[in-house]
Amino acid sequence: MNIILMGPPGAGKGTQAELIKKSFPIPHISTGDMFREAVANGTAMGKEAKKYMDAGQLVPDEVTIGIVEDRLAQDDCEKGFLLDGFPRTTLQAQALDKVVAKRGKSVEVALNIFVPEDILLLRLSSRVSCTTCKAVYNTKFSAPATAGICDQCGGKLAQRNDDKEETVKSRLKVYQEQTQPLLDYYEEQKNLINIDGNRDSAEVFKDVKAILEKL
Ligand code: ADP
Ligand code: ADP
Ligand code: ZN
């Protein structure tokens, strides 16, 4: 199972990935999570990536492609992978095709979650996540039982640095300019499946699950 989750910031990629993981035993690879971890650990790559993330820009392709290639080379990816937030540029998509082709495989499906921009802005301005276990909540749509506290581990919830209004605007523009064209790339490969993400996340997952069960 080689699956890609696509969609603009706030579409619900991370939320669907968490649900997919419970039903399908494949590793969830989120480049955003990998970069945030590198930032938190203060590595050289993290310091470099942070400059771009805080500005709402993409981390350069050579860095991003490098970390994904290393991750996909690990044993747990042999049976497949669920990529979340990668590829985001045509160069990244081509690099991914090469890596999977080397193993005699191909990307099976690119699930594109689409959501109107006004809803994305609303979701991103109210997204919070656990500083300990990284669980994602929404103060408007899926609030924790106690404000500011993680239901799963009791950790503190915080807003992401790049979910501030001006950064979000730049991320949405970057998405339109650099990532949206990739939808044509996967459409041409006949791998693109569009999913209406402007519904309850359980409803969205019903569709996602039905698609993945057929693979
Ligand atoms: P969201 O899901 O809200 O779009 P992510 O967590 O996927 O955000 O990504 C956060 C940031 O990490 C991006 O704005 C970008 O700076 C960087 N990033 C993540 N994935 C990639 C990628 N594939 N290519 C370049 N930069 C990336
Ligand atoms: P992405 O990974 O695509 O950036 P997330 O999964 O982090 O998106 O979701 C963005 C925000 O919207 C989070 O606060 C999340 O709790 C919330 N969210 C995700 N899916 C839905 C949905 N179907 N309806 C309402 N809110 C949602
Ligand atoms: Zn937690």
List of domains in the chain = 2-26+79-116+170-213 (3.40.50.300)
Strand partners, 83: 4, 29
Residue 103 is among the residues annotated as catalytic for this protein: no
pLDDT for 164: 95
Percent above pLDDT 70 for the chain: 100
∠ CA 108-11-54, nearest 5°, is: 105
User: DSSP label at 159?
Assistant: -
User: How close is the Cα of 12 to the center of ligand 2, in Å?
Assistant: 4
Whose structure tokens read 């699930």? 111
In angstroms, the first-to-last Cα distance of the chain is 7
Query: Does the active-site annotation cover 88?
Result: yes
112, pLDDT greater than 90:
yes
Backbone angles phi, psi at 191, to 5 degrees: -115, -5
Q: Give the pLDDT of residue 176.
A: 98
Pocket-forming residues, ligand 1, beta carbon under 6 Å: 9-10, 13, 31-32, 35, 52-53, 58-59, 64, 85-86, 88, 92, 162, 171
The backbone torsions φ and ψ at residue 82, rounded to the nearest 5 degrees and listed phi first, read -120, 105
Instruction: State the closest ligand 2 atom to the C-alpha of 198, by its place in the atom list counted from 1.
Output: 23
Please provide the average confidence, as pLDDT, over all residues in the chain: 97
Dump pLDDT digits (tens) for 191-205: 999 999 999 999 999
Q: What is the pLDDT of residue 187?
A: 98
- Which of the residues 36, 50, 123, 171 is marked catalytic? 171
Is 71 catalytic? The answer is: no
Predicted local confidence at residue 48, as pLDDT: 97
Check 36, 50, 88, 123 and give the catalytic one.
Answer: 88
pLDDT of amino acid 83:
98
Mean pLDDT of 55-68: 98
pLDDT for residue 103 is more than 90: no
The pLDDT score that the predictor gives to residue 175 is 98
Report every protein residue that has its C-beta within 5 angstroms of ion ligand 3.
Answer: 130, 132-133, 135, 150, 152-153, 155
Residue 28 reports pLDDT greater than 90: yes
**How does pLDDT run across 119-170, given as a tens digit for each residue?**
999 999 999 999 999 999 999 999 999 999 999 999 999 999 999 999 999 9
Three-state DSSP state, 57: coil
Ligand 2: which of 82, 141, 162 to mutate, most ligand atoms within 8 Å of CB? Answer: 141
Rounded distance between C-alpha atoms, residue 52 and residue 177, angstroms: 16
CA distance 109 to 4: 6
Look at ligand 1, atom 23, and give the residue with the nearest C-alpha. 86
